Structures are given as C-alpha cells and as structure tokens.
Amino acid sequence: MAPAPRRWASGALGIASVLIGVAALVTATRGPGAIEQALPESAPPAPVARVAIASAATLPAITPAPATPGSPTDAGAINGANPATPISVAVADGTVQTVKVTDPRGASVPGEAVKGGWHTTVGLAYGTAYRVDVAAVGADGQPVHQTRTVNTVKPALLAYPSFIPAPGQQSVGVGQPLVVKFDHPVTDRAAAERALKVTTSPEQPGSWYWISPSEAHYRGKEYWQPNTTISLHAGMFGVDLGKGTFGELNRDLTVHVHDSWVAKADGKVEQMQIFHNGALVNTMPISLGSPGHPSHLGPHVVSDKMPTMTMDSCTYGVCEGDPGYYKEKVDLDLRISNDGEFVHSAPWSTGQQGDSNVSHGCVNLSPANAKWFFDHFNVGDVVEITNSGGPALPVYDTYGDWELDWPHWQSGSALR
C-alpha cells in the first residue's frame, strides 16, 4: 500500500506572494500503460505530482472526483478572482511541462515559468472566464493533466481617477496640492488611499485629506520646496472601493515645482508684498473686498490664469436688476478661488488701491501691476490674504487646503 501523500506547504513553492486564494491540490492518476514494479520495502514509491492553480479568490479546498487514467482533471472554478493578480500554477512532487491560459475568445494569455511553477505576465480583465490547462510530470515519471476555470470579479461600477493638475500641467507652484477625483463615490477610502502612492524628491512629508466621498487631496506639511519633483501612482485597477465599485485603471502623474512665488495681501494697509524664493521683490497697492463682499482669509492658490474674461455677478446669484449687479470684461485674471476671487487688473479702482477695500472679493491691481503679477505668477503659486474682514477660505473651495494646520489635515486621511 502506498503511503499517504505528504502535506504540501505553499510557501515552499517560491510563489506564495501570488497564492492569495486557497488552491486546490490534485493527486494525479497514473497514465495508461503504466507498469507497476515491485520496490524494496526500504524504498517507498515516488510520489505522484500534485498541481495547484490559484488566483486571488478565497475558496475552500476543492476535492476533485476521481479521474479516468490519463485524462485531464477539472478541479472546479475559482470565482471572484481579482484581475490584478496573476493566475499561478504550482506543482508539488513533479515538474510543469506546459501551461495554457485562454480567454473566452480562445486567445492565449502570456505567462512565464518560475521556480516551482508558472504564472501569467499580463493583467487580466474584469468579468472574464479564463480556462487554465496544465500538463505536468510527476516524480514517478507519470503524466498529470488538469484544467480549471478562473472567473474574475465583475464590478457593479468602475471608478475612473482623474487628476488635478492635469498630466499636461508639468510645472506648478509651491502651493499646488495633488487632487484625485473619482467619477463614483468611494466607500472604502482606506483601500483607495493605500493604492495612491506619492513620492517626492527631495523627500517631504505629506498626507491625504478627503474633501468628499469622491475627492481626495494630497499636500505637504508645508509648501513644497522649489525644484521638487512629485510623482503620483494611482494603482487603482483591481482595487475594491466598496459596494461593488472597483478602480477602473492605473494612472501616473509627475509634476515639477518651480520657484517659490508667494504674495501677501494685507487688507489693513491695502498693500501686497511679493516674495520670490523667500526674498521680497515687489510691493504694490491693492484693493480687497468691500465690507459687504469681503475677501476670504488665508492662503489661496492660483488655479487658472486668463488674459481676458467676462465677470458676471449673476454666476453667484446677483443678476441684472439686482443691487450690486455687474457684467464686464476684465483683463489679466488669475483665479484664486471658485467663489469668484481673482487677482486682476482694475483700472476703475486705482484711486482706492492702497487706500480702501472696494472690490467684490477680488484683489484689484492697477493695469501695470496686474501685468507684472500676471507675468510672474502661475498655477500653484500662493496668495495669502490677511485682515480682509472675511471668513476663512473653506477647505473645499478649490485649493483651500492650506487653511488647515497639519494635525487637522492629517485627520482627514482614511489611514489615520
């Protein structure tokens, strides 16, 4: 009588990192025409090969029905496999000969041999059934065949991660946060955060903050150092974001931080000081928001710049016929909030600039000063407003990220 098969530890196969699910072990039948030979009692017979096919599914071990000698053995299906995890094949007490993985159209999925087995080398697709055919030879020299179906998970929704700044915006200022917006709400924010990897060179501390269930911002403890390179890898494919929503794909973003440009606008003295890499390089008279329309307090970040635009108070509810209505063409505009705050040219208020605050919340400059500012400031540069009489810029208003101190910012992470 042959001894009982030895227990097989998957960690000894050298591919434990991909055997997330419980793999089925199949004891092969001997091939047709096998010749039994008597062996000395001191030499037990060579063990027959055992094949394990695994994916990311977590399933109980499957015990296949006895097979006809020499025929393939179907060990059952693996369901709910993660397509981001390779399909792997391992053989105990034997050697893999051939492995073929095919999709429903019959197309082969590439793979490669590894120590102790084989695995796929390209990503799989959601909601797809893959057929796995394995041929192996046991230590006893007998053939082993097995087939298995691996069914990848079929999400209810796919969440696409869009980026701000957009990938085409390669240069940003020291105040620019990284923004990831999903087109569907994220229930498992911790899972999403673990898949969002940020690296900075030189290295600087940073953390995520969830502005909403579908929007996360990343900023440093302090403004970025000039000449920093920031890289974001959103490895979202295969990530379970909760309630049947999975990440649609992986995306990458790399931006470079240019010189530091920080403007400090003080509503008490109606002056704005301009600092380049920490050195004061210009001072100009300004007019901030009037008492009825005060500018928001705190750091603002430039999110857009336009040579000319039409400003219409009806966009925030003050329409034609209402007191305070305006609609006019304005030049040299740099947006610093989504609440309608800009730094721009205001030739109509040059008499008040440096003396009183009369705008609807914007930072008014003379045409010459506005031209200088427009030429030197860009996306991601910072405008800090003090003594305006207004409330703090909300953290959710475009880039109100810097309104929060570091401990409060860190508390907005799902991993804290």
pLDDT category at 49 given cuts 50, 70, 90 is low
pLDDT band at 2 (very low <50, low <70, confident <90, very high): very low
**Catalytic-residue membership of 362:** yes
Tens-digit pLDDT profile for residues 193-227:
999 999 999 999 999 999 999 999 999 999 999 99
Is the model's pLDDT at 29 over the cut of 70? no
Between 112 and 49, name the one with better pLDDT.
112
| Interstrand relation of 94-102 and 88-92 (parallel, antiparallel or unpaired) | unpaired
Strand partners of residue 232: 198, 253
Using CA atoms, how far residue 407 sits from 193, 199, 220, in Å, is 18, 21, 12
**Given pLDDT bands bounded at 50, 70 and 90, which one contains residue 317?**
confident
Instruction: Give the tens place of pLDDT for each residue, 180-189.
Output: 999 999 999 9
| pLDDT exceeds cutoff 90 at 298 | yes
The token pair that represents 56 in the structure block: 């990311």
Distance CA 58, CA 303 (A): 46
**Catalytic-role residue among 184, 217, 293, 344:** 344
Q: Is 233 a catalytic residue?
A: no
On average, the pLDDT of the chain sits at 85
Q: What is the mean pLDDT of residues 88-93?
A: 88
What is the per-residue pLDDT for 140?
86
Average pLDDT for residues 338-345, to the nearest whole number? 94
At 409, phi and psi to the nearest 5? Answer: -65, -45
Cα separation of the two ends of the chain: 59
Q: How many CA atoms lie within 13 A of 335 on its CB side?
A: 16
Residue 284 has pLDDT above 80, yes or no: yes
Instruction: Kindly report, residue by residue over 384-405, the tens digit of the pLDDT.
Output: 999 999 999 999 999 999 999 9
pLDDT score for 356: 96
149-158, 326-335, 359-368, 403-412: which range is least confident on average? 326-335
DSSP 8-state class, residue 212: E
- Of 119, 184, 293, 362, catalytic: 362
Amino acid, res. 212? S
Structure tokens at 217: 């911002």
Lookup: tokens for 283: 């001072």
